[in-house]
Structure formats: C-alpha cells, structure tokens
A and B are shown apart, each in its own frame.
Chain A
Amino acid sequence: MAYLTLSNISKAFGGGLHEPVLAVKDFDMEIKKGELVSFLGPSGCGKTTTLRMVAGFEMPTTGVILIEGEDITSKLPNQRNVGMVFQSYALFPNMTVGDNIGFGLKIAKKPSEEVKQRVKEMLDLIHMAEYGNRYPYQLSGGQQQRVALARALALKPDVLLLDEPLSALDAKIRVSLRSEIRAIQKQLGITAIYVTHDQEEAMSISDRIVVMHEGKIEQIGTPFEIYNFPTTVFVANFVGTLNTANGEVADPATGLLSVDGVQFESATVLKDRKKGEKVRVAIRPERFNFVSQEKKANVLDCKIENINFLGSIVRIQVLIGNTKFYMDTFNNPFLELPKIGAVEQVTCSREAVLVLDE
C-alpha cells in the first residue's frame, strides 16, 4: 500500500512572453511507509522542484500528490504535516536551539510542558542535550544541520523532506551525519525523501533511488539495482564509473556482441534484438580482471595504455581492439601491476557486460 503517491506530476515554469520550461515531466511513483527514497540527478534535473512540490512550495502544473490517500496537492505548506530540512540549515538566528526545535510545536499550540518534553527528546535524539540554550551561530555546520533535523522531526511529520542537507558540510562530517540521518529515520520509521546529486550518498542511505534527468525519471530501483543493472545510458554513466562503447548484436541467441570486431558475451537477454542492431555495451571498470588460470567467459587481449593510482583503487586504461576501457583493481602494497605498453589478457563475466539502448 502506497503511503505517499506522486501521480503524473509535471511542473512548468515561465510562460507569458517566454516558452514555458518543463522542470518536471510525468513524475509517477509510490513510496511505502517508513521508506527512504533518494532523488538523484545532476543540477537542473527537477529533483528539488519535485521535493518542493511535495512540501507545497511549488504547485504542480498537472498531477496529484496523496498522503495516505488524502489529496494534499492544493494545500498550503503550513497545512501539510511535512517536515523539511534545507541545505542552508535555515535555523532561525534569533532563537536558541531549544526554541528552534520547539517552534513548530508552539505554532501548533501544544502545552508548554509537552513542548519542553518534546524538545528534550529531540535534543537527546541528536545527541545535543546540553546545547538547548545556544544560538545557531554558536554551532558548527554539522550541529546546525542536526538541529534542523530535530526541528523538522519534532512535529512528527507524515513525511520528512531533505533537500541536499549535507552539501554545505565537509566530507568527513557528511559521511558521519548521513549515517546518523539514516539511523534516526529507521528508528522513527518515518517516510523520507532525500534529494542529492551525490551518488555515494544516495547509495549509502536509500531504500530506493529515483535517478532523474531533464525532469524525467530515468530509473527507480534499489541502490544495488541502480548500480548493477542500469537500464539507460544516463543512469549507467551518472552512477559510478562506466566503460561504454558502441557495439552491435552479433548473435541474439547466445548474447554475443561485437565491439570494433572484438566479441563480448553478455548475459543480457537479446532475443528481442536483431543481428547487427546497434547497441551501447557497458562494463563497470571493477568487473574486469587479469586472466588467471580459471577460464572465464570473456577472455580479451588488451594493451596496457596507462595506470592511475586513485587511493584505494588503481585504475588501468587498456585498449581492447581499438576501444579504450578502464579497469579498476584494489590497491595493496604487494600488487603486481603490468607495465605500460605490455600486452595482457583481461576477462569479465557475462553478467558484467550490459547492453543499453542508444
């Protein structure tokens, strides 16, 4: 049963003298109760606009938004029970941490004892019990964002919306805070939408990811599905590093593909495709290995073109036929790397060879 439904949502901006710009097109999805869904995509893909429509800050041009079957599309932001965490924290500078957290409760005219109790609970939840009397300017960015999260959660919202909440923080804090956000979301069982352009963040925090591009949904899936089985070239390229090459179907029955005359076996079902049909062949760099004794499906001759150390991994550029591919291997002090210019053999499983539509 869907808890939050976004049905056929579109949003156009502008008009008048200018052509209206469609920021979101036919956005259609259902979110289950307690689920954390990330909207992932590059700048301008419509993810924040979609989130703002759920919050009520933007009115959809078409479509409806339902929470537990109730149509909230035309409700004002202050009439929806939706909590929001902003990229810039948006804490009220004139109020203490405690007053910020209790602001929504006071607006809802809760008894002062209840407000005090709830503020205390929220401060405990974010591990900032002793910070209640401080002002936002006396806190670090990470602390401010935790307070913003507590403030949004204090009202027990139906849905929690997080608009790139970690973008303004440094890398280490981002990693620790995203785990904290996920833990709190799971602990409270709250339904949440998390907007980010950071694929690693989306992968680590989400139950499901919605990859968006130019206002449209490209793919919806679990982080595992999105990374391992991208269905479009955009998703494949946007999420993780990917080798892509122009190829054609050599034998639909056996899943044989040809890239510049080099043949790749793929586990993808190609029965619906014709022989000679042009396709995009995609392989993740980490799915390549140097050939060992064990015989694999795709054993391919290659020439080592370049080797780059990227910290925990080593990225090797190889030439297979006339096509350049990257392969990743874990870095370790005893790693024996081939020499640049050497001719080697690499292999990858049939499942690693993805076939994407042009």
Chain B
Amino acid sequence: MNLSSRLRNIPFWSWLWFILGALYFILPLYATLDFSLRMERDIIGFKAYLSAFEDPDFLKTFGYSVSIAIVTILVSIILTIPTAYWVRLRLPEARRIVEFITLMPFVVPAIILVFGLIRIYSSPITIPFTDIVLIPPLTTFKFGTSILVVAGYMVLGLPYMYRSVDTGMRTVDVRTLTEAAQSLGANWYTIISQVILPNLRSALLSGALLTFAIVIGEVVLASFLGVPAFGPYLFLLGQHRAFEPAALTFTTFLMTWAAMGIIQLVTGGQGQATGAH
C-alpha cells in the first residue's frame, strides 16, 4: 500500500482532530514569528533578531546559562550514571527509594528549593561545637553562588537525567553486559568506558538536552540567587520591549527543535541495539 492510499484510509475524525491539534500549537508559534519579523513598520525583516542578539546582556546571560548548563550536565552525569548502574547491578532493592528521590523535584517547587539553599548556605557552615568554618557562606561570592545554581539545577534536572539513564540501562541489560565483559577479563574502568557508556549515549543525550532546556529557561532559582542567567533576562526583556522577546522566544523554540532533532538522529538506531531476534 503506497503513502497516498494509506493517508486516504485515515478516518475523517482523525484528520479533524489532528488538524485542530496542529493549529493549536502552530498558530501561536506562527503569530510569534510573524510579530518578531514586523519590528519595522510595513517591512518584514530580522531587525528584532539583530537587536536582540546585539544586546551585550543577551550574550552575557546566554553565555552564563550555557556554561552553567554544561557544568550541570557533566556533574549530573557523574552523579547519575554510577548511582543508576550500582542500583541496577548490586542494589535492586534500593530502586524504589532512588526513584522516589528522583521524583521529588516534581513535588517540591523550585521556590522552596531556592529558599532552602539560601537559608542553609547564606551563613557559614561550621564543624559542630567549634568555630572552624567548613564551608564559607556560598551566597556571598560569585563562584559560590554559581555552585548553588548548579546544585539547584541538578536537582531540577534529576528526574529527567536519572530516568533517561535508568531506561537506557534497562534497554541494554547492563547487568548481563557487565558480566559478559567481566568474564572476558575486563575491569570496572573498561566496562564503564567501553561497554556501558557507548551503549548509553542516546539516553545520556536525551537527559543532557532536557537538562539543558530546563537550565536555559529557568527563572525562579536564577532570580532569587541573583545570577546573570538567560531566564531572568528574557523575563525582564519581556517587560520593557515588544519584538525582541518574541524573536528570542522563537529562537529558543528553534533550539529546542534542533535538540529534539539531534535526539532523533542519535537514538534512531537505539531500538535495534537490543538485537534482532
């Protein structure tokens, strides 16, 4: 059956709901694009985009958010992979507890998280019953605040990163692969670097891109911790200007689509990884 005859066989109501759904998503996006292109009267152009990109604050905040996102992704990977791996391999009974913990960010709002972070880390942490400072007040200097931002984003991105990694591990049956590698003489480093990580690349990419999207658009944590992030910048821009926020919003959409495209491209063969039976 060719494509046109297959399309003809789809019922009318399916088409109707599909078109309504598509319009619901596409129309606002089209309106944003259209609006962002009309900065100059009666001219369709990219002036709003140029204006937005030329703003030094844009580059500064976007650069900051990107670097924070990269650090968050790296630290999350370092934390998540060994945890998920060990739980799958040696501590399956701890799986429910770990899953519960990873779901907590869905339940606890970011505002609670940021107040918790500020409350604990705005004063020095000392060794109990002494005056010896273990951790200086992190909110009082730039680097310390960035550490808190990364920690907060790690928590917010945990459900996505952990679930991506855990699902990836289930798909490739890491336990048996580990045992197979061990029986062939491999040590832990070789197993992780040559067997586990290469087979988790699509899962890691999914988790990383979702974390990236969260970090780039996050407002609450960044605003309260007073860091020059892209989320608060976009929010402030929206209050003072009309066309630039629309241009940046549309750009962000394009970036998200590009990210999804990369996931599709990389994970295209994932289903085959488990083998043809």
Contact = CB atoms under 8 A, between A and B. Distances in A.
B177 interface: yes
B276 interface: yes
B190 A92 contact: no
Interface residues of A, number: 35
A104 B185 contact: yes
Nearest to B273: A93
B275 A144 contact: yes
A262 interface: no
Q: What does DSSP make chain B's interface, helix, strand, loop or mixed?
A: helix
Contact of B176 (A82, A86, A140): A86
A82 B272 CA distance: 29
Interface in A106-155: 107-108, 135-141, 144, 148, 151-152, 155
Interface residues of B, number: 25
A161 B184 CA distance: 12
A342 interface: no
Contacts of B199: 92-94
Contacts of B181: 92, 103
A137 B275 contact: yes
B104 to A, nearest CB: 27
Contact of A90 (B179, B198, B273, B277): B179
A168 B277 contact: yes
A238 interface: no
Contacts of A82: 183
B172 interface: yes
Contact of B185 (A108, A139, A161, A168): A108
Contacts of A138: 276
A258 to B, nearest CB: 54
A91 interface: yes
B67 interface: no
A305 B140 CA distance: 93
B147 interface: no
Given A55-B179, A104-B186, A137-B272, 9 more contacts: A57-B182, A78-B184, A78-B186, A84-B180, A90-B176, A104-B184, A107-B186, A137-B276, A140-B276
Interface of B: 172-173, 176-177, 179-187, 190, 194-195, 198-199, 269, 272-277
20 contacts: A55-B183, A77-B179, A86-B179, A88-B176, A90-B180, A91-B275, A92-B177, A92-B181, A93-B274, A93-B275, A94-B198, A104-B186, A107-B184, A137-B274, A140-B277, A141-B275, A141-B277, A152-B183, A155-B185, A168-B277
